[in-house]
């Protein structure tokens, strides 16, 4: 016996298939959505390192600053913060401000 269409024209069999497909998609996508919203130290650190590897030090600088506040002993964060600070100093037009920013970047390295 063929499936009867509902008043809107959708076949009942197709409706259940679509519903099953949506449920599977939600179950499969849930971990990816959670990973995007992950605000853990490691995920933020990974993002900052990725940005610095791409040469986007200005975007990585605020991330490295926050990470450094949370864990000052993390050597990778210290390295990234020093590079990002030195990159930021190159954008400053005032020689005194640039020199001070360079000192801060060097102080972080040591």
pLDDT band at 74 (very low <50, low <70, confident <90, very high): very high
Q: Which two tokens stand for residue 49?
A: 């390192």
| Fold classification of 41-109 (topology level) | 1.25.40
Q: For residue range 31-52, list pLDDT tens digits in order.
A: 555 555 568 999 999 999 999 9
Q: Is the dihedral of CA 97, 99, 100, 102 positive or negative?
A: positive
* Percent share of the chain, pLDDT over 70: 64
Please measure the distance between the N-terminal and C-terminal CA atoms of the chain and give it in whole angstroms.
Answer: 80
pLDDT band at 102 (very low <50, low <70, confident <90, very high): confident
Domain ranges in the chain are 1-37, 41-109
Note the pTM of the prediction, 2 decimals: 0.61
Distance CA 78, CA 91 (A): 20
Return the bridge partners of 5, or none. 11
């Amino acid at each position: 016996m063929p499936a009867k269409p509902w008043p809107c024209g959708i076949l009942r069999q197709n409706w259940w298939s679509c519903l099953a497909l949506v449920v599977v998609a939600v179950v499969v996508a849930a971990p990816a959505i959670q990973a995007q919203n992950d605000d853990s130290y490691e995920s933020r650190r990974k993002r900052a390192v990725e940005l610095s590897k791409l040469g986007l030090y200005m975007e990585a600088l605020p991330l490295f600053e926050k990470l450094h506040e949370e864990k000052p002993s993390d050597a990778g964060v210290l390295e990234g913060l020093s590079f990002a600070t030195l990159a930021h100093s190159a954008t400053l037009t005032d020689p005194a401000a640039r020199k001070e920013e360079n000192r801060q970047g060097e102080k972080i390295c040591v």
